[in-house]
């Protein structure tokens, strides 16, 4: 692949913890990303925020959903900053769908493409910038925008199942799935 879009879920950063970021796990991801980068692959990363905050969880506790979703988007920015820190020594840029100028560039497609061409790893934070979406949607959106050849997802569950395998032991994994199956 020439250009890849890597989607890292927030939960993937937790390691064995219940919450937050495991520095050891983060360092492992950084090392793997470096190895792929060294092969000359252009790497864009969309990072989730579920290890810190999810809008739906806030809403189920009585919080306004939109407010909660913006908090979730900010959580992804925290993770993006942590990943950027772990990739220290490499050329990286953090671009966010919500403007936070002191720490990140605003998302500008042409600029992101230029960074990738120059061999910089681009981390996209704040999801799509819109409530009621998830960072999986952001991954597909950004993947299409930067012309990624593939979207790779690093998460705790290793595929698509008939139901959540962490909650249901009878869940069956799909080896192949199409729109017709859905």
10 binds ligand UDP (CB under 6 A): yes
Token pair, residue 65, equals 């959903």
Distances (CA, A) of 171 to 12, 106, 159, 181: 20, 40, 11, 15
The span of 49-57, 88-96, 101-109, 168-176 binding ligand UDP (CB under 6 A) equals: 49-57
Which residues face 45 on adjacent strands? 6, 123
Is 85 within 8 Å of 76 (Cβ atoms)?
Answer: no
Nearer to ligand UDP, 48 or 143 (CB): 48
Helix (H) / strand (E) element for 74: namely helix 65-86
Q: What's the closest the beta carbon of residue 119 comes to ligand UDP, in angstroms?
A: 26
Nearer to ligand UDP, 57 or 118 (CB): 57
20 binds ligand UDP (CB under 6 A): no
Q: What's the closest the beta carbon of residue 87 comes to ligand UDP, in angstroms?
A: 19
Nearer to ligand UDP, 118 or 152 (CB): 152
Which residues face 4 on adjacent strands? 43, 150
d(CA 125, CA 149) in angstroms, rounded, equals 20
Range 89-108, binding ligand UDP (CB under 6 A): none
Which positions lie near ligand UDP, rule CB under 6 A? Answer: 9-11, 48-50, 54-56, 68-69, 72-73, 75-76, 127-128, 130-131, 133-138
């Amino acid at each position: 692949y020439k250009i890849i879009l890597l989607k890292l879920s927030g939960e993937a950063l937790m390691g064995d913890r219940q919450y937050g970021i495991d520095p050891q796990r983060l360092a492992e991801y950084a090392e793997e990303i470096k190895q792929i980068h060294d092969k000359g692959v252009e790497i864009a990363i969309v990072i989730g925020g579920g290890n810190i905050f999810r809008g739906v969880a806030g809403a189920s506790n009585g919080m306004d959903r939109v407010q909660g979703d913006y908090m979730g988007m900010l959580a992804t920015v925290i993770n993006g900053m942590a990943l950027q820190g772990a990739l220290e020594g490499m050329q990286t840029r953090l671009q966010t769908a919500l403007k936070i100028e002191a720490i990140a560039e605003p998302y500008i497609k042409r600029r992101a493409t230029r960074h990738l061409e120059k061999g910089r790893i681009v981390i996209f934070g704040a999801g799509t910038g819109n409530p009621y979406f998830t960072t999986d949607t952001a991954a597909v959106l950004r993947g299409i925008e930067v012309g990624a050849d593939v979207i790779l997802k690093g998460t705790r569950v290793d595929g698509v199942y008939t139901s959540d395998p962490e909650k249901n032991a009878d869940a069956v994994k799909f080896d192949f799935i199409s729109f017709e199956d859905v």
